[in-house]
């Protein structure tokens, strides 16, 4: 019935997990990028399966009440913001519904039946932002050339590595544009080549910028396909003129890979790190450190994790996937001792420095995989835990890690998640083995995108 290149009208009735509008016709569902709930649209079918298809938006025939004018001129081309045409209040509803649906569908949690089961699970409304733009403290700009050979930087188009030229992103700090102007001007004047992914040639691959929202300190790190860059001292001298410039670095990445940063860092000027605060805790951030990109929401996220941990000052706490110790140091001031585990060695070095500069002594950090370090200390050293906090990558916790958590039987588990699907899977495992879900708090860490963070509190059952 439906074929590729066919045009049809749709009423958009829902939003998919990747932010696409969903409309139905003739028993088939169609996914339409840049369409929002309530839009009546004209689309062109690009790919057709038996019961669903993908279509390109041609024209909005009747706009939704929820449609809003995007702040960015490159919204449709760029793959960074999937929801910018959707009013922010509806973005929050979408994210809350996404978390709830994953917990119900994958985890088997039935929030509508809580009272009947005499089990009290609090699902809190998502925490949004007053200003859902210009919130990112880190930006990674790929560098390349356009069809005329001119050096450009910007962001990748959706599902591609084609660079959309744009130096002004409405999610990042204002200073980013000035920094990119200086870097591109330097490259043009000194004939420094941009990296070409197809051939693996060219020097400058990415410009990575970190900005301290509290301290106003700035780090600029150029990722290069080589061990040095001609005239690098002149670039550092120009960047030094910007207020707040603290660190100018090179990062060496000579691999043909999609991974942005290599392991070797060369200091051109200043420090090899910047500092910033979350609450009253100071953090030292190096170019290889994982550090949450939204400092305003991070404070709310960590305060929620701290509340769910239920600390009284007597607890032994394990913080798994601890990064540079951001959550660990929040927890340490209200617990007896905290042990942090992280696989990235430079992050652990930062974590130890962060403990030192904050005068926090009741923490200890280990380099290694959480699924290896935790069993070793439990089985050989007999170190137990009253509370375990996990903040894993998008793939969720390793099974060995979950097995050890169940064996250690902590009173409480606090799970910080950036993917509610893997969160639901891991919660199901824990709640089938002696734990019960108590509280769920979604936090909008990434406005204008489909991503959301979530904190849950889990309690050991006492039978």
Three-state DSSP class for residue 428: helix
From 221, 418, 431, 454, the catalytic residue: 418
Task: Specify burial of residue 264 (Cβ count, 10 A radius: 0-12, 13-18, 19+).
Answer: exposed
- Using CA atoms, how far apart are residues 39 and 412, in angstroms rounded to an integer? 45
Q: How many residues does the chain have?
A: 463
> 276 CB contacts (<8 Å, ≥6 apart)?
137, 212, 213, 214, 215, 217, 282, 283, 285, 291, 295
Strand 435-443 versus strand 122-123 pairing type: parallel
Name the β-bridge partners of 318: 339, 388
For the chain, how far is it from start to end, CA to CA, in angstroms? 58
Structure tokens at 102: 């994953």
Q: Is 358 left (phi over 0), alpha (psi -120 to 50) or beta?
A: alpha
Contact 335, 303 (CB under 8 A): no
Q: Yes or no: say if 300 and 443 are a contact pair by the CB < 8 Å rule.
A: yes
Distance CA(340)–CA(320), nearest Å, equals 6
The H-assigned helical ranges of 209-270 are 232-239
Are residues 445 and 297 in contact, defined by beta-carbon separation less than 8 angstroms? yes
Q: How far apart are CA 444 and CA 91, in angstroms?
A: 9
Residue with tokens 């119900």: 104
CA angle (347 as vertex; 367, 430 as ends), nearest 5: 60
Contacts of 62 (CB under 8 A, 6+ apart): 39, 40
Has 418 been annotated as catalytic? yes
Active site residues: 418
């Amino acid at each position: 019935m439906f074929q590729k290149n066919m045009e049809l009208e749709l009423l958009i009735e829902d939003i998919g997990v990747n932010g696409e509008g969903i409309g139905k016709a003739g028993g088939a569902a169609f996914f339409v990028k840049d369409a929002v709930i309530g839009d009546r649209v004209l689309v062109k079918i690009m790919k057709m399966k038996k019961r669903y298809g993908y279509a390109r938006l041609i024209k909005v025939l009747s706009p939704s009440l929820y449609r809003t004018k995007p702040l960015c001129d490159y919204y449709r081309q760029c793959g960074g913001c999937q929801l910018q045409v959707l009013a922010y209040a509806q973005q929050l509803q979408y994210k809350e519904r996404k978390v709830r649906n994953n917990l119900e569908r994958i985890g088997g949690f039935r929030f509508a039946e809580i009272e009947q089961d005499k089990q009290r699970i609090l699902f809190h409304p998502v925490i949004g932002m007053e200003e859902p733009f210009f919130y990112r403290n880190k930006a990674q700009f790929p560098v390349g050339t356009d069809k005329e050979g001119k050096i450009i930087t910007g962001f990748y188009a959706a599902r591609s590595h084609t660079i959309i030229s744009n130096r002004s992103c409405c999610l990042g700090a204002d200073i980013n544009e000035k920094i990119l102007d200086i870097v591109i001007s330097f490259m043009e004047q000194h004939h420094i080549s941009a990296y070409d992914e197809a051939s693996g040639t060219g020097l400058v691959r990415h410009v990575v910028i970190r900005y301290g929202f509290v301290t106003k300190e700035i780090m600029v790190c150029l990722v290069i396909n080589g061990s040095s860059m001609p005239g690098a001292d002149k670039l550092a001298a120009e960047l030094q003129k910007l207020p707040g410039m603290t660190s100018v670095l090179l990062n060496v990445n000579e691999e043909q890979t999609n991974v942005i940063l290599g392991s070797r860092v060369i200091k051109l000027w200043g420090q090899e790190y910047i500092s910033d605060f979350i609450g009253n805790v100071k953090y030292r951030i190096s170019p290889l450190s994982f550090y949450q990109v939204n400092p305003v929401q991070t404070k709310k996220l960590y305060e929620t994790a701290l509340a769910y941990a239920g600390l009284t000052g007597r607890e032994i706490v394990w913080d798994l996937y601890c990064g540079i110790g951001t959550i660990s140091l929040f927890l340490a001031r209200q617990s007896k001792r905290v042990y942090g585990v992280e696989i990235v060695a430079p992050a652990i070095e930062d974590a130890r420095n962060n403990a030192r500069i904050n005068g926090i002594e009741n923490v200890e950090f280990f380099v290694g995989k959480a699924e290896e370090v935790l069993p070793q200390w439990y089985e050989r050293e007999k170190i137990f835990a009253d509370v375990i906090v996990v903040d894993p990558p998008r793939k969720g916790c390793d099974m060995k890690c979950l097995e050890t958590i169940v064996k250690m039987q902590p009173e409480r588990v606090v799970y910080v998640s950036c993917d509610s699907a893997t969160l639901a899977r891991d919660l199901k495992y824990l709640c089938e083995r002696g734990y019960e879900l108590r509280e769920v708090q979604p936090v909008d860490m990434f406005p204008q995108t489909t991503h959301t963070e979530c904190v849950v509190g889990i309690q050991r059952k006492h039978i």
